[in-house]
Amino acid sequence: MPLVSGADVEAAAALLDGVVRRTPLEHSRALGERVGGPVWLKCENLQRTGSFKIRGAYTRIARLTPEERARGVVAASAGNHAQGVALAARELGAAATVFMPESAPLPKVAATRGYGADARLGGATLTEALLSAIEFAAATGKVLIHPFDHPDVIAGQGTVGLELLEQCPDVATVVVCTGGGGLVSGIAAAVKARRPDVRVVAVQAATAAAFPASLAAGRPVPLATMATMADGIAVAAPGDLTLAHVAGLVDEVRTVTEGDLSRALLFCLERAKLVVEPAGVAAVAALLADPGAFRAPVVAVVSGGNIDPVLMMKVVQHGMAAAGRYLSLRVQVPDRPGSLAALLRELAGLSANVLSVEHERTTARLDLGEVEVGVHLETRGPDHERDVLGALAAAGYAPRV
């Protein structure tokens, strides 16, 4: 099927001039040291509505006829596309109805309604919400604004690629967070039209990666299950159009684990001073997980920053554990006064911060007169964890993790 061209993306850029923000390209010294060359972050988390989605949504709605806009638009989204459609519809004078899964983060639901859309919650997954949106569009005559599988949406998202080429003319590799594939399809169309030598890499969450099987089959193959913290890229299957773009223009599809995502989110907070949602940090996760796989200069697209504060706390904790910043261990000590104090003094001398302590006296592992102590520690990383475990063993304890 016909692919979106570089000229299509440039036309979308002209349409979006003055509507979307030209987001900054921030250098990351910490990532550059790992990769062995310059690494830049394209900060779409700082875009209007907090993600790149406004680009495609506005392009699509702006190209509707006046009669179509008068009927209104409908969309389905876990949050970012919802906000993009809501804002674009408001600015173009169209009423918007958005179907969101019941698990959609509350800040995204509130923001969607704040932009003036009628946000309706229902269904356990984005796939179910999309089916509801399709049925609603058929019943009401409203125009469905698909989150990724439409040429106008792909062309709008592709304007990210035009910007990063202008901001980093010598880029060698572009790494893109990928769910349904609208963003990577558009960026690949824009980048390959001007610089066919640039390598474009799509990154999916390993537990919600629909592209590998679909590419192998040559058609969209829905995933039977998905389970990832990165709700923004949890898409059961690519569209026919995005699959064609990825097959024809994208050089590689990689996957990252949940641990990779949480470590990357923590990295962006600590080292880049960026608030990023799990879906938006997938490209950074790929760089951290396998830095030698990317030829520099690299541009990693940080696609969104709309994260629920409650989820952020959980992900940060998960990221700290994955980065070796938390250590849980159990040791057996004599059940007599002073044993716990002695263990805690040992840990204090190792500069390990004790977060919690628990006692267990009733397991079959214990001899008479013993108690098992579980300790949850805050550490400074994997090397410190090894030092703590080694020092406890040398002091006569037998720590188990």
Q: Which pLDDT band, with edges at 50, 70 and 90, does 371 fall under?
A: confident
Q: Which pLDDT band, with edges at 50, 70 and 90, does 118 fall under?
A: very high
232 Cβ contact list (under 8 Å, min separation 6)? 51, 78, 79, 80, 177, 179, 277, 278, 279, 280, 303, 304, 306
Q: Which pLDDT band, with edges at 50, 70 and 90, does 352 fall under?
A: confident
Q: What is the CATH number of domain 6-52+151-319?
A: 3.40.50.1100
Lowest mean pLDDT among 177-191, 193-207, 323-337, 357-371: 357-371
d(CA 171, CA 148) in angstroms, rounded, equals 25
Could you confirm whether 28 is annotated as catalytic? no
Query: DSSP 3-state assignment of 72?
Result: coil
In the chain, ranges of CATH 3.30.70.260 domains: 324-400
Q: Which pLDDT band, with edges at 50, 70 and 90, does 360 fall under?
A: confident
More confident residue, 75 or 399: 75
Which one from 28, 77, 214, 303 is the annotated catalytic residue?
303
pLDDT of residue 61: 98
Which one from 53, 108, 142, 192 is the annotated catalytic residue?
53
Q: Which fold has domain 324-400?
A: Alpha-Beta Plaits (3.30.70)
In the chain, ranges of CATH 3.40.50.1100 domains: 6-52+151-319, 54-144
State phi, psi for 86 to the nearest 5 degrees: -60, -45
Q: Which pLDDT band, with edges at 50, 70 and 90, does 323 fall under?
A: confident
- Would the pLDDT of 254 be above 90? yes
The Cβ of residue 32 has, within 10 Å, a number of other Cβ atoms equal to 18
Could you confirm whether 303 is annotated as catalytic? yes
Q: What is the CATH number of domain 54-144?
A: 3.40.50.1100
- Would the pLDDT of 265 be above 90? yes
Q: Which pLDDT band, with edges at 50, 70 and 90, does 366 fall under?
A: low
pLDDT of residue 331: 87
Which tens digit of pLDDT belongs to each residue from 18-27? 999 999 999 9
- Would the pLDDT of 250 be above 90? yes
pLDDT of residue 364: 64
- Would the pLDDT of 231 be above 90? no
d(CA 39, CA 51) in angstroms, rounded, equals 20
